[in-house]
Amino acid sequence: MTKAPIAGNRTGRKLGQRVKNKKMKASSRQWLQRHINDPYVQRAQLEGYRARAAFKLLEIDEKHHILRGAKRIIDLGAAPGSWSQIAAKVTGSTDEDIRVAAIDFLEMTQLPGVKILQLDFLDPSAPEKLLEAVGGTPDLVISDMAAPTTGHHRTDHLRTMHLCEVAAHFAVEVLGEGGHFLTKSFQGGTERELLAMLKQHFRQVVHVKPNSSRAESVEMFLLAKGFKGRKAEAEAEQP
């Protein structure tokens, strides 16, 4: 069971530490102070995950069981790689038998059992390269992609939701029947067309806000479970 850290941390580091570097900007000092006092950050370090985001995926899986039985996984917006670490573990992926493909335009340190592509997911060649890298039909597509922020809320929302839509269409094109799709989205309204499309292709579509997602963050996750398959899609399109 994935539990929230309590009474701190088991790392030996005290919570409530203050950053006293007066040369730093106030906003930077506040971010660093929050980061070093975040029990999920400390727990990630303790358990060997590259980022606190690992617990978001584990919490979602605890309730929705999307990792159970997964044989091949594609991870979009994967850097620094904590979701890929989990994916490699649950699929039994190894360097000799790759079952996890990860993509990000940022550089990522290599992970055992993960084929990493340093490439923008919006590059036209990305879908084909991901399928080739994962070595077969994926039964789970996960996306933690978010557009670089501009500081303008509406612009940031639209840019990230565009990535969400592109990821959703990719999932519909590549998933095996019964597969699942998980993507980061933002509070403020998921586009009606995207929800309608996902409900057409998946048996269940829900929004999820895991406890490990910071309360002040506008991020949520959109989960589509039970892909109906492309045969059902073709039948739906027939007059």
Catalytic one among 14, 25, 63, 184?
184
What would the pLDDT profile of 117-159 be if each residue is shown by its tens digit?
A: 999 999 999 999 999 999 999 999 999 998 877 777 777 778 8
Identity of residue 125: S
CATH topology of domain 50-237: Rossmann fold (3.40.50)
Tell me, yes or no, if the pTM score tops 0.75: yes
Is 184 noted as a catalytic residue in this protein? yes
CA dihedral of residues 186, 191, 194, 199 (deg, nearest 10): 90
pLDDT at 222 (0 to 100): 94
The Cα–Cα gap between 90 and 83 comes to 11
The Cα–Cα gap between 139 and 183 comes to 14
User: What's the chain's Rg over C-alpha atoms?
Assistant: 19
- Residue 25 pLDDT greater than 90, yes or no: no
More confident call, 15 vs 87: 87
pLDDT at 6 (0 to 100): 37
- Residue 23 pLDDT greater than 90, yes or no: no
pLDDT at 33 (0 to 100): 46
| Average of per-residue pLDDT values in the chain | 82
The Cα–Cα gap between 229 and 226 comes to 9
Structural domain boundaries in the chain:
1-48, 50-237
The Cα–Cα gap between 191 and 200 comes to 15
Closest residue by Cα to residue 200 from 236, 174, 161: 236
Q: Residues with Cβ < 8 Å from 44, sequence gap 6 or more?
A: 50, 51, 52, 54, 55, 82
Question: What are the C-alpha distances in Å from 220 to residues 17, 33, 143, 157, 164?
Answer: 28, 24, 12, 12, 11
Closest residue by Cα to residue 133 from 97, 166, 109: 97
Report H helices in the chain: 26-36, 39-47, 54-64, 82-91, 126-134, 153-174, 192-201, 230-237
Q: Let me know: does 116 contact 100? Beta carbons within 8 Å.
A: no
Q: Residues with Cβ < 8 Å from 132, sequence gap 6 or more?
A: none
pLDDT at 191 (0 to 100): 75
